[in-house]
Amino acid sequence: MIKTSDLLIILCRYCLKIYNEADEKAKNVFLSLLRVYLRPKSGEPVMIEPAIRLLSRHGAHVDASKVSFFNFGMRYYSANLITAIN
């Protein structure tokens, strides 16, 4: 069975391979992964640490105007995330 940490690495590598700023769908691949981390399936934990890691390493590939933590229903987590980034 694949470990979660290995899967996260594979997902980031996939995003780097697919990312293309000129392609409307491909330029949002990191945003899609961020949404997966912050809006997991029912009963699954929110993946804050991978989300922070994604933003710190690949934040330049995420359109900040499309990120709204309040839309993720994460008022508590967004405050902690902003504190952790600063």
Contact 62, 55 (CB under 8 A): yes
Q: Quick one: pLDDT at residue 85?
A: 54
The arithmetic mean of pLDDT across residues 3-22, rounded, is 87
Residue spans per domain, the chain: 4-85
Q: Give the per-residue pLDDT at 70.
A: 44
pLDDT at 83 over 60: no
Query: What are the pLDDT digits (tens) for 41-75?
Result: 778 888 888 888 998 998 888 888 887 654 454 44
End-to-end CA distance of the chain: 36
Does the pTM exceed 0.85? no
Average pLDDT value for the chain: 78
Closest CA to 85 of 61, 66, 57, 63: 57
